[in-house]
Chains A and B, each alone.
Chain A
Amino acid sequence: MKNKLKRGQYVGRIGGQRSFGVGHRVMTIEFEGEAGSVLGGAVPGQFVQVACRDMDISRVGDPLLRRPFSIAGVRVEPGNFGEVTCLDLVYRVVGPGTRWLERRRVGDLVDVIGPLGNGFTLPEDGKAILLGGGIGFPPMFFLADELSRRGVQKVAFAGTRTVSHIEGSLKPAAIDSADVLEPTMALEEFVRSQTACVITTDDGSCGYGGSIVAALGEFLVRNPDWGDAVLYACGPDGMLKALAGFAAEKGMACQVCMEAYMACGIGVCQSCVVTVKEGTAQKYKMVCANGPVFDAARVVWGS
C-alpha cells in the first residue's frame, strides 16, 4: 500500500475528554473544513502526531517533539457550521506531554499532523481476530468499527498486565463472565461495533489469567471455525513477536501495528526503523512511513 493518502498539519479543538481505569483517558479532538475532511479519511492503524504544548502561543517549548497517538475512532457529526470530524485518541499520563493533554479543556486548541502511516489491509468478508496488548489497544476500537461496517465477523482479545491497565472501559459483563474464554461485551468501546471480547491479564486479576497468545491458542482449540481468521494486532514487541511465531506455526495471516521512538513521524528523519525481510535481504523500514502496519511474517523480531 503506497502512502498517497492526504495528510496535513491542522489545528483542532478539544471536544471533550474523560478518564477510565487508572490514569487512562480518551480525548476527542474536533476538526472542521479541510482538516475535517482530511482527518475524516483516516483508516484503522493510522496515527497522528500531536504537539503536546501551546503551539498557538509559542512555536518553541517542551516537549519539543510531537507525540504519536494511534487513532482510536473517527466520527463525522453535524455541527453548527457544517460537518465536524471527531477524532478519538486514548492515552495514559506518563510524562509532561500527556500531562499537558490531560489538562486541556473543551474548546482548547491542539496542533495535529495526520493522518499518518499505512493502515491495516482490510478484508471484505471472512473473519478477523483483533488482539490488543497493553497500550496497543486503541487502534483496535477503530478497526472494529470499520470491520463492523464491512460486515466482517470478528472477535477481540484485550491483554494486559493487570486489570487496572486495561485501555478500555470495563463493563460488568467482563467480571461476571463465568467462562473467561467466552467473548462478551466486556469493553464499552466495543459495544458500538458489537465486538465481543476476551479479557486476559498476566496476573489473573480479570478474565483469562495468562498471556494473550496463550488465550488465543486455547480459544482456537475450542473454536476451530476461527482458524481461518486474519489476526490484527497492536501491542508491545514481546507480545507481537510471540503472536508472529504463533501465526506462522498455525499458518494464519497476521498484520501487526508497530511502535518505535519517532521524531518527525512523516518519513523524513528516518529515526523509527524496524528490520523487515525483503526477499532474502533484511532492510530497515520506517514505522511512520512504511508502517506502522507490517506483515508479521516479514518483521525481523529482536531478542
Chain B
Amino acid sequence: MTEHSRIELADADHLSDHRFTVPGMRCAGCISKIERELPKFAGIEAARVNFSAKRVAVRHDPALGEDAILRAFEKLGFEAQPAADNPLGQDDAESKKLVRAVAVAGFGMMNIMLLSVSVWSGATGVTREMFHWLSALIALPVIAYSGRPFFASALMALRYGRTNMDVPISIGVLLATALSIFETATGGEHAYFDGAVMLLFFLLTGRALDAAMRNKARSGISALLSHLGRGASVVNPDGTTRWIRAEDLEPDMVMVVAAGEALAADGRIISGTTTIDNSMLTGESRPQPAGPGMIVYAGASNLSDPITVELTATRDDMAIAEIARLMDEAGQSRSRYVRIADRAARLYAPAVHSLALLAFAGWMIAGAGWYQSLTIAIAVLIITCPCALGLAVPAAQVVASNALLKCGLLVKDGSALERLAQADIVLFDKTGTLTLGQPRPINLDELGADDRGIALALAQASRHPLSKGLAAALQSEGAAPAHLDQIAETAGIGVSGEWRGLPVALRRAPSGSDNPASELLVGERRVRLEFADQLRPDVTETLAKLEELGLSGQIVSGDREEVAASLGRDLGVPAIGAMLPGAKLERLEALKTQGHFPLMVGDGLNDGPALAAAHVSIAPGSASDVSQQAADAVFVGESLLPVAKAIRTARQTMRIVRQNFAFAIGYNVLAVPLALAGLVTPLVAAIAMSGSSIIVVANSLRLARSAR
C-alpha cells in the first residue's frame, strides 16, 4: 500500500501516467526489481506493479517518451509493451457492481434468516409481527439494490418482446415481496422476505462468478496482445526518429523498421535488404527476400535487417482493411447463438407462469378465497424460481474455465465453452498454428555441447528473430549458456563475444539457400545454422486425441498447395493450400450448411475472418492481435494439446451443466406438488432453495480436475 499512496501523493500536475504490459513478470523478485529500479531512471517518478494483470503503471515526466520507458524496462531485463489507453473498461465496473450487490444481498439474507428462525420456531402474536416488520425493513432496500441487475435485464427483454431467465426471477421476487408486505401489514402468518432475498443472493453469486470468469480471461488476453506494429518510428526531416501511432500514420512518411518488428502500414522499401515474413498476412511459411523498390504490407514482419519504408497507403486502404471488412461480416453469425441458460428459460418461464396461473384458477374453482389462491400461486412461483438453474450454468463454467486456465487456455466466456462442446470438425491453419510460426534451427545436431552453450549465450544477448528462435530451441533441449565476456551486438551484423580467450560470434550467414540462416563462429571454426518454421511438438498427439473425441481435422492454409499437401500427408489429414481469407470463409460456410459445427484454430491476420465466422475458434498466444480478439479462446505456450483438452473439458462441462439442470428440474418435480397443495411454508422454501443451490455448486466443483 505504501507505494500506492506515494504515487497518489506525488505532484500530479507535472507528471503523466502510462501503463505498460510486462508479460515476463513471474515472481516477487520481478515486482520489487521493477518498483525499485525503474524510478532510478531519469524522468521516471514511480512505478506500481499489478501482478495479476501483468501491468505496470509508470508515473513519469511528460517529456520522457514511450520508447525511453520501454528502453528502461529493457535495461532491467523485461520486455514491455504500452498497454491500451483504457485497460479496465466497463466490464470491470460491471463485475464490481455485481460483487457489491452480492454483499448487500448476503447481509440482508443473514439478518432476515436470523429473524425468520425465531418465527419458524414458533414466535406468535406481537413478536412475530415485529419480526416481520423488521424483515420488511431490511428486505425492501436490499431487494431494491441487489435486484437491479435482474430487473433491468428483464425489462430490457420484455421491451423487445422476448423473455430470458431474468423475467421469471424478477416476477417471482417482486410478487413474493408484494405478498410478504401484504401479509405483514395484515398480521398474516407467513412472510417470504427471506426466500426472496436468498433467491437474489444465490442468483447474484452465479452472475458474479460469470463476470469474474470473463474478466479474468480478458485481462489474460490483453496481457498477451502484442502492441508491436501498432505504430512506427518515423524519420523526421532532420534525421531524428519519433514514434507515431498506426492510426496517425500518413502516406509519404518514411519509417524505420528494425529486425523483428512488424510493419504498421503498407509501403515501399527505399533502403535496406531483408527477408520479410508474410505468414500472418497470407499463411506463406517461406520468408521472402525484399529489397529497395518492393512493396511490403502492414502485418508482415521484418526478419533479418533494418529497412526504411516509404508509406504508400493510409489506414483505410491498406491490405488489412479488406480482411477487417470480411471479419465484420463474418462476426454476425455467432451473435445468433443462444446460450443454454436462455434456451432453458424460453421453455421454463412460460411453464412456470402458466403453472402458477393454473394453481390460482384451480384453487379459486375449488372454492378457496382469492387470498388463499393468490398465496398458493405465489408459493408456486417462489418454489420454482430457478435458484439452482441460475447457478447451474455459471458455476460449472467458472470451475471449468479456471481448470483450463491452469493448463494454458483462456476461454473468453461461457458461451464459448458451450460452443466448444458442440464442435464436431476442426479446421487448422498451418503456419503459426500447427507450426510454431517462428524460425527455428533445423540442424542443431551439428553443434557440440560447448558450441551450444556459446550459441545460447550469444543468442540470448540479441533480440533478432533468428536469435530468439535459436535461444528457445537450445533452451528446450536443456543447454545452459556459457560464460562469455565482452558481448556486443552490432545491428545488421550479429553478436560477438569472447569465450576462454577465443573470439566467438553469431552473425548473418552469407546467402546460400532458401532458408534464412546464421553462422556461429568459434575461433576459426564456422557452423552454418539453417532456420525453418517447425511443427509444434504435440501436433500428432493432439490430432489423435481429437480423433478420439470424434472430431476430424482438416488443414486450410494460405501457404502453397504442395507445402500444405505434404504436411497433410505427414499428419494423415486432408489439406487444402493456397486459400485466401475469403476461401476459408466459404469453406466454413459450406460446412455449416452441411450441419457441422466447425472449430477453427488459426493465428494469422488472414485467419481473422474465419475465426470470427466459425462456430467456435481458438488462437495461439503468438497470434496477431486481430485473431486473438476474434477467437473464443487463446492458448499459450508451444504445445497444441490445450486444443484437445479444451474440447474434452467443454464436453464434461456441458455434461455437468445438464446434470445440474436435471437436478434442478427434479427438485421442481418434488417441490411443485407441495406448493400446489398449499403446503409450502417459508421454511420449506428456504431449505429447498439453499439445499438445491449447494448441491449444484458441489456438483460443479467436480470439474476442477477435468483439464488434467
**A and B held together in a complex:** no
Residues of B within 8 A of A (CB): none
